[in-house]
Protein backbone atom coordinates (compact mmCIF):
# COMPACT_ATOMS: atom_id res chain seq x y z
CA UNK A 1 0.00 0.00 0.00
CA UNK A 2 1.42 3.34 -0.88
CA UNK A 3 2.48 5.71 1.87
CA UNK A 4 -0.21 8.26 1.00
CA UNK A 5 -2.95 5.98 2.34
CA UNK A 6 -0.95 3.70 4.62
CA UNK A 7 -1.82 5.73 7.72
CA UNK A 8 -5.60 5.87 7.16
CA UNK A 9 -6.26 3.40 10.00
CA UNK A 10 -5.07 5.89 12.59
CA UNK A 11 -7.24 8.66 11.12
CA UNK A 12 -10.66 7.01 11.36
CA UNK A 13 -13.05 5.77 14.03
CA UNK A 14 -13.16 2.10 15.00
CA UNK A 15 -16.40 1.66 13.06
CA UNK A 16 -14.99 3.35 9.94
CA UNK A 17 -11.93 1.11 10.19
CA UNK A 18 -14.14 -2.00 10.19
CA UNK A 19 -16.09 -0.70 7.22
CA UNK A 20 -13.00 0.29 5.22
CA UNK A 21 -11.26 -3.00 5.95
CA UNK A 22 -14.37 -4.82 4.70
CA UNK A 23 -14.32 -2.64 1.57
CA UNK A 24 -10.77 -3.72 0.82
CA UNK A 25 -11.99 -7.34 0.72
CA UNK A 26 -14.57 -6.73 -2.01
CA UNK A 27 -13.02 -8.04 -5.24
CA UNK A 28 -12.65 -5.82 -8.27
CA UNK A 29 -15.77 -6.04 -10.43
CA UNK A 30 -18.00 -7.12 -7.52
CA UNK A 31 -20.38 -5.06 -5.40
CA UNK A 32 -22.26 -5.43 -2.13
CA UNK A 33 -25.21 -3.46 -0.81
CA UNK A 34 -24.98 -1.04 2.09
CA UNK A 35 -27.06 -3.51 4.12
CA UNK A 36 -24.80 -6.45 3.30
CA UNK A 37 -21.72 -4.46 4.24
CA UNK A 38 -23.41 -3.50 7.52
CA UNK A 39 -24.00 -7.20 8.27
CA UNK A 40 -20.39 -8.02 7.40
CA UNK A 41 -19.13 -5.53 9.98
CA UNK A 42 -21.49 -6.77 12.67
CA UNK A 43 -24.07 -3.99 12.37
CA UNK A 44 -27.22 -5.58 10.88
CA UNK A 45 -29.70 -2.85 10.08
CA UNK A 46 -26.86 -0.33 9.95
CA UNK A 47 -26.95 0.51 6.24
CA UNK A 48 -27.25 4.24 6.95
CA UNK A 49 -24.31 4.11 9.38
CA UNK A 50 -22.25 2.41 6.67
CA UNK A 51 -23.30 5.11 4.20
CA UNK A 52 -22.13 7.80 6.62
CA UNK A 53 -18.79 6.03 7.08
CA UNK A 54 -18.36 5.82 3.31
CA UNK A 55 -19.21 9.50 2.98
CA UNK A 56 -16.16 10.23 5.14
CA UNK A 57 -13.80 8.09 3.02
CA UNK A 58 -11.04 10.50 1.94
CA UNK A 59 -9.10 7.70 0.24
CA UNK A 60 -11.59 6.85 -2.50
CA UNK A 61 -11.16 5.10 -4.88
CA UNK A 62 -8.08 3.46 -3.28
CA UNK A 63 -10.42 2.34 -0.49
CA UNK A 64 -13.13 1.27 -2.94
CA UNK A 65 -16.42 2.62 -1.60
CA UNK A 66 -17.67 2.70 -5.20
CA UNK A 67 -18.21 -1.07 -4.81
CA UNK A 68 -21.09 -0.49 -2.39
CA UNK A 69 -24.50 -0.03 -3.99
CA UNK A 70 -28.02 0.69 -2.83
CA UNK A 71 -30.50 -2.16 -2.70
CA UNK A 72 -32.41 -0.54 -5.58
CA UNK A 73 -29.69 0.94 -7.75
CA UNK A 74 -26.19 2.30 -7.61
CA UNK A 75 -26.73 4.86 -4.86
CA UNK A 76 -24.53 7.86 -4.25
CA UNK A 77 -20.80 8.41 -4.27
CA UNK A 78 -18.97 11.14 -2.43
CA UNK A 79 -15.59 10.41 -4.01
CA UNK A 80 -14.10 12.73 -6.60
CA UNK A 81 -16.47 13.03 -9.56
CA UNK A 82 -19.62 11.96 -7.69
CA UNK A 83 -22.07 9.34 -9.02
CA UNK A 84 -20.74 9.65 -12.59
CA UNK A 85 -17.31 8.60 -11.32
CA UNK A 86 -18.87 5.64 -9.49
CA UNK A 87 -20.47 4.46 -12.75
CA UNK A 88 -17.18 4.99 -14.59
CA UNK A 89 -15.19 3.00 -11.98
CA UNK A 90 -17.70 0.14 -11.97
CA UNK A 91 -17.70 0.10 -15.78
CA UNK A 92 -13.88 -0.01 -15.80
CA UNK A 93 -13.98 -2.95 -13.35
CA UNK A 94 -16.47 -4.80 -15.54
CA UNK A 95 -19.49 -4.63 -13.23
CA UNK A 96 -21.44 -2.31 -15.56
CA UNK A 97 -21.44 -3.07 -19.25
Ramachandran region, residue 87 (left: φ > 0; alpha: ψ -120 to 50; beta: rest): alpha
Query: What does the DSSP assignment read for 4-71?
Result: HHHTGGGGS-HHHHHHHHHHTTSPTT--EEHHHHHHHTT-TT-HHHHHHHHHT-TTTTTS-GGGEEBT
Of the candidates 31, 41, 47, 65, the residue annotated as catalytic is 65
56 counts as catalytic: no
Beta bridge partners, 93, equal: none
Q: Which residues are catalytic?
A: 65
Amino acid sequence: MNKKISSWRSQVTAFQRKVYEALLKIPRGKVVTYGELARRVGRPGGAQAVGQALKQNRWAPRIPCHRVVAARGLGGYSGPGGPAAKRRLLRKEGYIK
